[in-house]
């Protein structure tokens, strides 16, 4: 699901830009040998289609290779503090990922009305939740907001047919907790609503957004 679209997006350039690729099993104790293989192939950029422990291990192993300062791209699902936090700020510095939601722990959003509302909701209903480690919570909150919008648009006609009709006909739906410039779009032949992401880079202390939202 990660690798095939990545290769397809590179098109004809994939043959010359991809110097090596390797995989891992969730039962592998480490991924150091895979990282060494990629370094030996002459890679100067790593796209880590990895999650959980393997993502953190891959970054750490790459940074531990003497004389190798590869540019690292990390899937947004692995960029949470609970996943890559143990790697440490120094090794994470410069890693690039992407996001679609405002980060409630980012001080730059401290005065944002949507973030304030979200944090108040969390404090009321999940007061023990660690905001920094639970990166999935904002995504769940956005999903709930979308479901509310679906039900509102359905009115009193809560049949499966009408719910599906509404849910598959969103056009530039704006949800407050999404980043500026990111909206949701669906169609009867494409249920996936997220087609735009915003790049972010770890600056040594936190993730910092850069550039403009990118649409596939």
Mean pLDDT score across all residues of the chain: 93
Distance of CA 197 to the CA centre of its chain: 8
Is residue 147 over pLDDT 90? yes
Provide the strand spans (E) within the chain: 45-47, 71-73, 96-99, 196-202, 207-209, 214-215
Total-model pTM: 0.89
- Selection from 185, 175, 179 nearest residue 200 by Cα: 179
Taking only the tens place, the pLDDT of each residue in 34-63 is: 999 999 999 999 999 998 899 999 999 999
**Residue indicated by tokens 């990895």:** 50
Taking only the tens place, the pLDDT of each residue in 92-139 is: 999 999 999 999 989 999 999 999 999 999 899 988 877 666 677 888
Task: Output helix, strand, coil percentages for the chain, rounded to the nearest 5.
Answer: 45, 15, 45
Instruction: For residue 10, give Cα distances in angstroms to 7, 33, 54, 76, 213.
Output: 5, 26, 25, 20, 19
Taking only the tens place, the pLDDT of each residue in 169-198 is: 999 999 999 999 999 999 999 999 999 999
Mean pLDDT over 134-162 rounds to 93
How many CA atoms within 13 Å lie on the side-chain side of 194? 14
Burial class of residue 68 in the structure, from the number of CB atoms within 10 Å of its CB (0-12 exposed, 13-18 middle, 19+ buried)? middle
């Amino acid at each position: 699901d990660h690798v095939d679209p990545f290769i397809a997006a590179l098109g004809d350039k994939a043959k010359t830009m991809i110097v090596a690729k390797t995989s891992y099993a969730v039962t592998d104790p480490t991924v150091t040998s895979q990282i060494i293989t990629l370094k030996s192939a002459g890679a100067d950029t790593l796209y880590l289609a990895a999650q959980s422990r393997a993502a953190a291990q891959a970054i750490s192993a790459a940074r531990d290779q003497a004389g190798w300062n590869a540019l690292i791209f990390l899937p947004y699902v692995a960029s949470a503090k609970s996943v890559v936090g143990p790697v440490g700020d120094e090794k994470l510095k410069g890693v690039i990922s992407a996001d679609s939601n405002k980060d409630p722990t980012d001080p730059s959003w401290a005065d944002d009305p949507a973030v304030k509302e979200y944090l108040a909701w969390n404090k009321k209903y999940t007061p023990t939740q660690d905001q920094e480690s639970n990166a999935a919570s904002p995504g769940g909150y956005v999903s709930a907001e979308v479901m509310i919008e679906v039900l509102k648009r359905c009115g009193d006609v809560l049949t499966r047919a009408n719910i599906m009709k509404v849910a598959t006909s969103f056009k530039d739906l704006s949800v407050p907790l999404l980043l500026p410039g990111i909206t949701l779009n669906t169609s009867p032949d494409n249920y996936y609503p997220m087609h735009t992401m915003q790049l972010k880079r770890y600056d040594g202390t936190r993730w910092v957004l850069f550039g403009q939202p990118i649409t596939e």
